[in-house]
Amino acid sequence: MKILIVDDFSTMRRIIKNLLRDLGFTNTDEADDGNTAMPMLKTGKYDFLITDWNMPGMSGFDLLKNVRADEDLKTLPVLMVTAEAKRDQIVAAAQAGVNGYVVKPFTAAVLKEKIEKVFERIQ
């Protein structure tokens, strides 16, 4: 299981990476926005994408849309971990095909629950 973590703040990537390690996911890579993430995803090495929304360059929302529009990536599970908390944004993310939505600040338990839920649903 290889996971790509996309966030413009290295501290947040590090927090998520640590929490994932505690959950037993040690195989992770990082990218700082959608533009750097997209070519990495296109290599086909990743089984799961965790992305922030608000990033310079390509936002997480656009990354989600690009992933869903890509023939090879359209079924990739995507978990959004973001401070974006407006109802219409969450609805938009759901409509764009997000698999889970975690609002920052979050706890380790919430992240674990949402990741498990995403896997449960796709299995």
Partner 1 sequence: MSNDRKIRRDLEPEVSDKLRQQVAELNQCLEDNDYAGAMNLINELSEVRDQSLYREVGRLTRTLHEAIRNFQIDPRSEEQKEVLSLMTDASDRLAYVVQMTGQAANRTMDLVEESMPVAQALGDEATVLREEWQRLRRREMQPAEFRDLFGRIDAFFVSVTSDAEAIYNSLSEILLAQDFQDLTGQVIQRVTALVKEVEEQMLSLVVMASHVDQLTGTVHQLENQVVSAEQGQGPQMKAEEREDVVSGQNDVDDLLSSLGF
Q: Which residue in the set 4, 19, 79, 102 belongs to the binding site for partner 1 (CB under 8 A)?
A: 102
The dihedrals phi and psi of 18, each to the nearest 5 degrees, come to -65, -45
Query: Minimum Å distance from CB 110 to partner 1?
Result: 5
Could you tell me if 13 and 52 are in contact, meaning their C-beta atoms sit under 8 angstroms apart?
no
Count of other CB atoms within 10 angstroms of residue 39: 9
Paired tokens of 80: 């959004």
What x/- string results for residues 103 through 122 when contact with partner 1 is judged by CB under 8 A?
A: xx-x---x------------
Binding site for partner 1 (CB under 8 A): 9-11, 14-15, 18, 53-55, 59-62, 82-92, 94, 101-104, 106, 110
